[in-house]
Structure 1
Amino acid sequence: MVKSYIKFLQFILFFVFSSLLSGNIHAQCAGDDGGLTVCDIPNLANRSINLYAALGGTPTAGGTWSDDDESGGLDANTGVLNAHLIRQSKTYRYTYTVNGAAGCTDNSSVVTVTIGGYSGVASNSTQCSANITFNLFEAFNGLFLGPQDYGQWYDNTTNKKVDPVINISELEGDYGFTYTIPAIGTCPEVSSTAVITVVRAPKAGEDINLSLCGSDGLSAYKNFDLNNLLAGQDPGGTWRDGNRISTGELTFAGDRFVDIEKIYDRFGEGYYYFGYKVLSQKPICPDDEKVAWIRLEKKLDFTGATVTVNSDICETEIPTANYSVTIKKGPAAIPNGAYYVTFQVSGLNGRTEIASANFNNGTLVFPINPNYFQDVGTYNVNIISIYKTNSLKICANIMGNLSDDLIIYPLPDLDNAKIAQTTTCQNQGALIQISDAVKIGDGIYDLTYNLSGDNQASGQIARVTFIGGNASFTLPPNLSPNPGNAVITITNITHVISQCSNTANVSGAIVIKHIPYTAALRMQIKNVCFEEPVTVSLTGLGALTDISLSYIVSDNTTSTPLTINLLVSGGNASFIIPSTSASNPGSYAVYIVNLTDNKNGCGVNLSNLSHSFLINAIPAAPSAAPQSFCKVDDATIANLQPNGAQYKWYISETATTPLDPAYVLQSENYYVKETSAAGCTSPATMISVTINDPAAPELNSEGSGFCGLDNPTILDLTNRTNSPASVVWYDAAANGNLLPSTTPLVQNGRYYGFDFSDATNCISEKSIEVVVSLTNCDAPENLFIPDGFSPNGDGVNDVFVIPDIDFLYPDYVLEIFNRYGSRMYKGFKDKLGWDGINYETSGISNGVAANGVYFYVLHFNKDNKPPRQGRLYLNR
């Protein structure tokens, strides 16, 4: 309370003192000018300074205020000044104006206010050097009034002025910076010091990156240290695979080695990114990571590629021609995409240029400036290099010779050319020779010509090659059908390659002679045997007397024409074909190629006159080998090999009558001959025939008797033969079924044994028949006979039987009696045992035997063994 009062007195005294110092004291409506100084800026009282109270005199209330120096702290409606809103320490003027009051000589007064400095409340700040810069004003405590503007910062370490924004990228540790606002009026200088702690940021370094040509081999990079991709990095960082599809090369934390060769082999060319991260030691700084890349490029192979410059023109097309270059890839694949093509054009206007175009499915096309091609001549367009537009040109692509010539052709001109007179035969070609065509360049041309005279034609085309102004072509035979004279005139000439064309007018004479008449000509040749002469007979030669004949003897291979001179008599002639022209058996044909009248030298090409003939060969002796058969198969001549209509079999080499196909074979020799379709018979071939018949098996001394108690099978029967390894058994002597070795033998069963030979694969023709007995059993001393049974239908002991008695005593008879001596049952071999039914005595319980004791008598009928009596008990 006391302090507030003292401050109030100080304010009054200050106000009075300021009033006394005022240079303008007026008794006016707006009062007198006043002034005040505010040094303690953060004081809350300085947020509402009443400027009206600072006016001298007796100002009239209700006036208006203006902030003359735009301090920004005045409320113009109330005249209250808020020093907290003024951002700069200086002296400000505020004018109070009263308008409309009567009798006022001056209606405004000024209050001058000096605002002392305020440097704020500094606060220490921790920054990361990775922020690069720091604004020192950010170091002020935000809980207090912020500092004024326009002060000066000082670096306490160097005592030098600094800008508010400082570079902290290379700093580490604590640094003091002082913000000072100078004294003004009675207000002292004020300062605030902030300590900035700079934490060094982790450094992942600067990327160096790596570019390699994978096609040149990467064996030196199979264990590449990724640290080589960076410079200035902190140690202790870790690498990661930054690719969309992992290369799989970094396999554990801390791994920094990669196999670049394997990456290229697996993934091909491209950018491969790897990130190096260094962790921050303090949370104020973030972790730092630098991503470096490895660029792998593939060498493009343009071997076999072609370049075409479109297109060659005639000199008349120069003003309007446009050109393009087409590059087509060779065998190697070229990816689609954009490429830079560096090319060079020869010629007066030629130079080197770079074009941009796209490869699409192996083809790239780009236009080329027509200014390169302005005169007749040959221009070479050479492709120097081709690279993808995104290529770093790491690989030296294989170019080969990629060039093409563009030719601007002159118009062909036949002025002053000549055609020499020529002579030919009717329907034969005439050689047309052109000379002195001095204005025609060497090359191939199409000539358009007409014929007049005894043979006429128009618009005919001939292709010729001019060399040194000379050329020739043959007039087609169809243009000289009439003997006599004709004139040939060339009317146009066209260069074949360029299609440059020009009119012409060059003529020459043709003389045409008669040819022989051959419409009635005929030829005859008879078939012959091998080594017999072949005679060719000709008829229909008309009035010809002396001819030359060219012919070909053909056996479907290329033959050299033969020429023979013949004298003709009565229209007929003949000759013998040399044996060397038809030296082997086979099918031949004679073709008359040309017939020439030796008197005038004119001949006729005969394309349709031919005749075929045969030189029949004698067949070679047939190929045959010794053969064997099974006797059981009854093989005949028809079974011998070879067989067929062309083969006949004989009983001797000299026999002429063949054996009947049904002749049954024996173990003896036979002879086979082959007859050709032409009736020629070959020499005989002898073979030996062997008829195999294994002997039938024999039963040994053990015979066919078995004991049924042993469950004998076919195998047991087999083992009682003299050929147990090869005997087979059937259930019938003919067309029977083969019996497996596990087949059980049955009493009185009939079995037929055949012997089978593995060596000849034959079965014996004859067999052995065996009737089996299963009663060859040794009888026991004490035969077991049951003493009762229970025929109640439960499936257990329902029938009274004596086990194995059918085998032990096959002729037994069993009789069963009741206690009255009446026989109830009589049984024997293969008869079902007694089931408790009375089969013998009528009128006893409807045939069903009652429970009780019954008596049996067993007649053995073997080995004079006496009958056995006993009793049994029936219990249902």
Structure 2
Amino acid sequence: MILKILFHSKSNFLHYVIIFLLFFSAINTSAQCAGSDNSITICNIPNSNNKSINLFSLLGAYTTGGIWTDNFFSGGLNLTTGILNAQIINKSGVFTYTYTVNNGIGCKDSAVITVVIGGYSGISSPNVSACSDDLSFNLFQGFNGNFLSPQSNGTWSDNDGTGALTDNFLNAAKAGLGTHSFTYTMPALGTCPAESSTVIVTVFRAPDPGIGSVLLLCDSDYLSFDTNLNLNSRLSGEDANGKWMEISGTSELSSSFDSTIDVRHIYDTFGAGAYNFVYSVLPSNPICDIKKATVTIIIEKQIDLTGAKLVVNSDICENEITTANYNVVLNQGIQKIPNGSYFVTYTISGIVEPITIISNFNNGVLRFSISRIYFPQVGIYTVGIIDVARVGSLGACISKMGSISDVLNVFPLPKIDKATLTIDPICKGFDATVKISGDTNLTEGNYSIVYNLSDSNIAVAQQAFFKVAIGTGTFVIPASLIPVVGNIRISITKITNLTTGCTNVSNITKEFGVKPLPDFANLKLDIKALCQNQPVVVSLSGLGILANITINYNLTGVNNAANQSVVVAVIAGSTSFIIPSSTLVNSGITSLVITNIIDNGGGCGSSINNGTKNFMINAIPKTPTTKDEIFCKNDKKTIAALTPSGTQFQWFNSPANTTVLSANTLLVSGNYYVKEVNAATGCESGRVSALVVINEVPAPTLNQDGQNFCGLDNPTLQSLTNNTVTNGNLFWFDDAINGNKLISTELLVNGATYYGLNFSSSTNCYSDPLAVTVSLANCDVTPDFFIPDGFSPNGDATNDTFRIPDIEFIYPDYSLEIYNRYGSLMFKGNKNKAEWDGKNSDSNMSLDGIAPNGIYFYIINFNKGNKPPKQGRLYLNR
């Protein structure tokens, strides 16, 4: 019997072909002990008979006791009973099952049963719904669960062309809202036809709570915390009319419809932390679930390590490099740091990349260790903390660090075995100075050494301390250890750096000598009195056979100077030197005290018992106080006009000139120098300068013929100014010295001399005078004159004289003669005597002094060109 059932397969097509060929090539063979190969096709899968197909019945004659093998792991065969349940095979296809007998008594055989499972597409449900937020809705959910489930190796097709189908999964969001049709098809196989089922899916809109956000805040930004934060503003794309609830217990929401919270109040009340608020939106259909979005307010506390102290323990010497352990202690600063785990990032000088470790703060102290590999050699290493962040922090705050560092030193061992020891020969009774320099590794700082002395002076295990600067150090061997003249050897056995505490052995030696002292019992001194700032010459005698000496001395009294020194040559037991003027600034009695004299030839010196000498330094006058002066050139100022003045003051025209200027020396612009001289001591002050500025105003100059005018024009001083080249400030005077200033409207007088001076308003100075004698006879016309025909000399101030107006301007050399009717001369005039007052002033006869009323006759002699004289008459009426 052949059963036809539908079966879906998604197995490999090649596999299907191979099995299919096996099926069509199956040949019933003659009965074997395991039975014969056979085949069966099952198309109508839902048929209940297909749940229990006995494969033994397909073997024909067979030997019992064999075992079944499900060659393609279909899962439908009970390997014990040989019953095949085609309904639990979830794929269509060709499957083989092998029965094998090996009973040990001559039957060793197998037979293959080939089963073709046809396609089955299942029974779809009448109503299938999906929510629009389901991105992978399984269309197999669209089959009626009351019927046998479809096989799995069919093919789905998108009937509406939504483009939202991938295999059996529907992207409901992509498909969009509404009803969509999808067909599931199982292909034909062998004699089994193809089958298909259609699933109708209605996509309903899912509620959208939007996308919640995280508001990440740092407590250091407290003032910017929102006191009226609408949680809806922290959502995007949400449906309206949702409900809020809080799950952090802040009690900020008064109801499910309240969406406003006070972030600052949350922080004030609960402090730093994470606070969650959930927005829920109900679906409009029973298919979709309630959707929720969460808004999280995270307030992190800023780590403030201001004032924190870092200690890296501990400095070592270089012989400890391979065994040293380094521990770091970070103590909190002004802010208490909560206990817990922290990321600590630190740097080490010489290491390029920062190092980050996790360690714990415990009661304000964080400890961690640093590997010795970071400190491989002698050097100075700076360890600095650049960031501390709590483990789990979201980075809302930038830690406030400040400068947190410590210096770790790997100190070298002090090494001086290759150093140079320098010890100058010393004189008996003096300390010996030992200089250590050259090839050493000594850094600046304090050191101690242990040394031994041998040969002429012996000492053992002596300790000395010294300081090294710029690679050199010196220490002293006390004179008490080297009292004997002769050669001595020093051996340094140990050196310690007192700063680092590093100690090293030493094996360095040096020889030096102790010399005898000279004798100065016959020494004599002499110093002359002098003025301040003059060289003080000290003469010495009684120096014996010495050739070159160093004199060490002090000054006491009004001048004090300690530890002064001078080197001088000695000739025939005598020498001299000058005490620097810089040490002799005060006048009065000063004492020279020679403390010792050193023989530079032998290098030894002796203290002096008879080396004191007093001498007088006379005071120099104080430097005069002067002032700069500004004069006008025409003031003719002299040296006597300068400040200060007096016989004790001497003036010079240069700082070095020795010629004293007399008091009547006329001043010019430039610097003058004055000093004061004390007549009694001969001491003189320093010179001080005074700047003299002689302001000179250029004198005005007269244009050519500028003094010539025509009196008919009534020229004034302004007319004269117009004929003068001036600086714009020209004034006229009636005298060159102490003259009266004239106004510009004043009429010029013929033959008068005027003095013009330019004036400078910036310097308040006048120029030298320009003297101008005016001529008013420069007239080029010869007009007819008005000659009065009478006058009345009665003393009423009106017409009291006879005068020919302006004749002197046209005919400056004219003459006038007046006669009475008897021909007697009454008056003779010219430009200097131009008016007749009616008296017989020029009569050569014995006439009365007053001319009587009557007619008189005049003659005018023009005396110009060839103009003839003019005669006329006039009437005198008193």
Mark yes or no: TM-score above 0.5.
Answer: no
| TM-score normalised per structure 2 | 0.44
| TM-score normalised per structure 1 | 0.44
